[in-house]
Each structure stands twice: as structure tokens, then as C-alpha cells.
């Protein structure tokens, strides 16, 4: 139904006159009573075809309104379901986010344990001390040997190589402490 058809008819459009024969042929006093009675005129109005047509249009409009209200009710039910689903999704999201935050903390701790600069320095320093100790072990080893000329030459060469390694690592360690180095760190 178009909106333009839903219109309150004017009195002229109702075309109440001329009165139908059933009324116009009534005696004058009866017709006068009829005209003075609101209920009777109301009944006459309701019998007019134009008014009936108007009422049909209004009924159609009301049916459409009822249909739309029912659609609204269905929408409300669907909306409730969607709202419940959103609620569950939000709870799931919050829970997952909490877990993810915890895992991130653990990850940070593990990364720190594996690749923290201080721990790497300690590890490097430990390795440096091991190298230093190896040179002392070499001395002990030479002193406990027969100390022949050939052994002496080999010992000097090995000892010098180990000390070179040691001093090289120590120099790096010093520079590292001074933060004058590059590399993995």
C-alpha cells in the first residue's frame, strides 16, 4: 500500500449527499431525528462506500504495522542470541588475552635466561678463565715431562698460542665491559 493512499477523506470526498432513498423518503420528522442523532449519522457514515474504502486501507495499514511489529519481535530475539554470542566471545577473548600475556612473560624470562647480556658476559668470562687455566695446566704438564729439547720447543709454541688466545679473549672482554664492541650482543 502506498503512503499516498492512506489519507483521511474529507467530508466532501465521503459524498454523503444525496442521501439514499431509504433515508430521503423518510418522513420529515424521522429524517430530522436521524440528522440530530450522532449514532445514526455515524452508522450512515460507516455505510458509505468511500468510508468503507478508507477503513479497508486503514485495516491494511494496521496489518502491515502488525507484521512489522512481529518482524521487530523476531529481530529482538535474534538480537538477544547475537548479544549472548558476543558475550561468550568477549569472555573467550579476555581469557585468551590473559593466557597470552602470561605466555609472553614466560617468553621474556626464557629469552632473558638464554640471551641476557650479563649471562653471556659471565659465560664468556668463564670461558676466559678456562683458557687461562689451560695455560697453567700446560706448564704443569711440561714440568712433569722429561723436558727434552724437543718437548721444550713444542711447549713454548703451545704455551705462546694459548696465551695469545687468552689475551685476545681478555682484550675482547675488556672492550665489552667498556661497551666498545659489536656483534651478537
Partner 1 sequence: MTELPASLSNWLYNVVQPQYANKQLTYTHLYQFLQVHYGKNLRLRVRTSVHTSQRSGQSTLLLNIFGSIPVTTTQLSVQIQIWIPLHYPFGNRESTNTTNDDTSGVPMIYIIPDTSNGILIKPGNHVDSSGRFYHPYLSNWYHESIPSGSGSRKYNLIELMKILQASFEKDCPIMVQESSGIDSAPSLPSKVPLNGTFSQNASNTQLPAQLTGPPLPAKPQQLVSGSTSSTNEERAIPLKYQTPLPLPPISQYIGQPNAITPQGTGVASQTPTGQYMQLQSPPQEFVGVHSPRSYSSPTYSNSVVNSPPSHTPIQVHQNYNSSPRQPHASTTSSPMVNKTASFSNSNQNSFIDLIDEDRGSSSVVSSSASNEVKSLILENISKRMSSEAKDFSLVMSNKQKIEALYQQLSYHHKQAVANSTNLESHVKYISQQKASITQLNNELVSLEESNTSESKLVYTSTNNSIPLDELITPDSALVNQLYEVVSEIKATKDTIDLIGGNFRSEGELIKDSNMETAVRTVRTLAREMFWLELMKNEIAGIMNLS
Q: How far is the CB of 81 from partner 1 (least distance, A)?
A: 9
Residue pair 84/92 in contact (Cβ under 8 Å)? The answer is no
Between 56 and 130, whose beta carbon lies closer to partner 1? Answer: 130
C-alpha closest to that of 42 among 13, 5, 72, 16: 16
Distances (CA, A) of 12 to 9, 15, 17, 50, 98: 8, 5, 9, 10, 75
φ, ψ dihedrals at 91, nearest 5°: -60, -45
Between 42 and 53, whose beta carbon lies closer to partner 1? Answer: 42
Grid cell 635466561 — which residue? Answer: 113
Grid cell 542470541 — which residue? Answer: 81
Q: How far is the CB of 67 from partner 1 (least distance, A)?
A: 10
Between 113 and 118, whose beta carbon lies closer to partner 1? Answer: 113
Q: Which three cell numbers stand for residue 82?
A: 547475537
Q: How far is the CB of 46 from partner 1 (least distance, A)?
A: 9
Between 53 and 58, whose beta carbon lies closer to partner 1? Answer: 58
Q: How far is the CB of 166 from partner 1 (least distance, A)?
A: 8
Q: How far is the CB of 174 from partner 1 (least distance, A)?
A: 10
Q: How far is the CB of 133 from partner 1 (least distance, A)?
A: 12
Between 56 and 164, whose beta carbon lies closer to partner 1? Answer: 164
C-alpha closest to that of 165 among 119, 120, 134: 134
Between 53 and 168, whose beta carbon lies closer to partner 1? Answer: 168
Cis peptide bond upstream of 18, omega within 30: yes
Distances (CA, A) of 102 to 58, 105, 112: 65, 5, 15
Amino acid at each position: 500500500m502506498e503512503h499516498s493512499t492512506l489519507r483521511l477523506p474529507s467530508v466532501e470526498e465521503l459524498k454523503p449527499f444525496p442521501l439514499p432513498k431509504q433515508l430521503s423518503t423518510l418522513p420529515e420528522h424521522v429524517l430530522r431525528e436521524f440528522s440530530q442523532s450522532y449514532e445514526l449519522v455515524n452508522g450512515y457514515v460507516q455505510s458509505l462506500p468511500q468510508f468503507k474504502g478508507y477503513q479497508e486501507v486503514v485495516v491494511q495499514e494496521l496489518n502491515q504495522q502488525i507484521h512489522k511489529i512481529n518482524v521487530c519481535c523476531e529481530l529482538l530475539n535474534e538480537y538477544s542470541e547475537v548479544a549472548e554470542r558476543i558475550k561468550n566471545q568477549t569472555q573467550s577473548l579476555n581469557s585468551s588475552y590473559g593466557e597470552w600475556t602470561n605466555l609472553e612473560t614466560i617468553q621474556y624470562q626464557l629469552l632473558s635466561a638464554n640471551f641476557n647480556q650479563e649471562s653471556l658476559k659471565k659465560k664468556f668470562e668463564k670461558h676466559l678463565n678456562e683458557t687461562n687455566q689451560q695455560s697453567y695446566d700446560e706448564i704443569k704438564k711440561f714440568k712433569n715431562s722429561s723436558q727434552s729439547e724437543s718437548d721444550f720447543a713444542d711447549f713454548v709454541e703451545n704455551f705462546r698460542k694459548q696465551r695469545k688466545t687468552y689475551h685476545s679473549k681478555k682484550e675482547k672482554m675488556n672492550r665489552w665491559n667498556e661497551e666498545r664492541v659489536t656483534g651478537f650482543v
